[in-house]
Every structure is written in structure tokens, then in C-alpha cells.
Structure 1
Amino acid sequence: MTVKFPLIGEPLGLDLLNTRPAGAGDLIADPAGLGAWLAVQAGRVAPVDGVGAAEVAAVHAVREAAGPALAAARRGERPPA
């Protein structure tokens, strides 16, 4: 089964946030999912020689930090530290 990522041509950070669309679960929940997302982002991110649990955890941490920052910016507030 091929995953269809909701790429909307936005900045990379927004495409990352879109890897957890409402009602669809986490599209990068495991190394295979993250590897597939990185492959479709070719040209926008540096190539990666293998993806494991540590890389998934690191990307999830970035995504979790970016969500509140984007929400604050939408409200015209300063993002959380």
C-alpha cells in the first residue's frame, strides 16, 4: 500500500505538520512512514542513509514543537519558547 501524503506546496514545516491529518492517524509513525515522507520531499531535505526509531522520535519532537508555534502565530501571538 502506498501512502498519499497531503502535500500542499507549503513550506516544509507545514508539510511536516500535515503528516498527522485529522482522522487519518500519524503518517510518519514508524521508520517506513518517515522514510517514505522523506523520499517525497527529495530536493527539499538532505538525503538520509536509513531511518530508524531515533530519527522518527526526533522528527516527531520537531513536529510537536511546531504545532503550538503555528497555532500562536495564527492567533497573532508570540510562539511559545
Structure 2
Amino acid sequence: MPGVLPAQSDAEVVTGEVAEQVRETVVAKVPEVRPFLAIPVETVPLHVRQWRATDVVSGWLPGRELPGPRVGS
């Protein structure tokens, strides 16, 4: 069972075409989210710099520092 997953990230409010591209990307990955995006919402992508995973069962105690995900590779 996974443990705590704290992270450090930067948030950016985007609008216009960029916001629409983010929404299309999210819907392509998780189609069931489409109804939630039908109402007016802000688009705020998070850019994860690093995160920590703690998994007691796997012996990750204290947790392991992990880099942010690589995007577009």
C-alpha cells in the first residue's frame, strides 16, 4: 500500500488556447473528466520539480526523493 506522496511544484494559471490544449490533453488521458470541464473552471497546470514517496511495505522509510516527471519524452 503506497504511503504519503508530498511534492514541490510550480503552478501556472493559463487561459485561451493554452488552457484549451491542457483540457484536451486531460480529456484524452481521462475521458470521464469531460463533464467536469463543461462548467467554467480555471486551468492550472502543475510543474512538479520533485516529490517524495514513502512506502513502508517496500522499505521506503524514510521516503525517497524523486525527480519531477519528464514531459514530452
Same structural fold, with TM-score higher than 0.5 when normalized by the shorter chain = no
Structure whose residues are more often strand by fraction: 2
TM-score (normalizing by structure 1): 0.30
TM-score (normalizing by structure 2): 0.32
| Larger Rg belongs to | 2
Which structure's relative contact order is higher, taking Cα pairs within 8 Å and 6+ residues apart?
A: 2
Structure whose residues are more often helix by fraction: 1
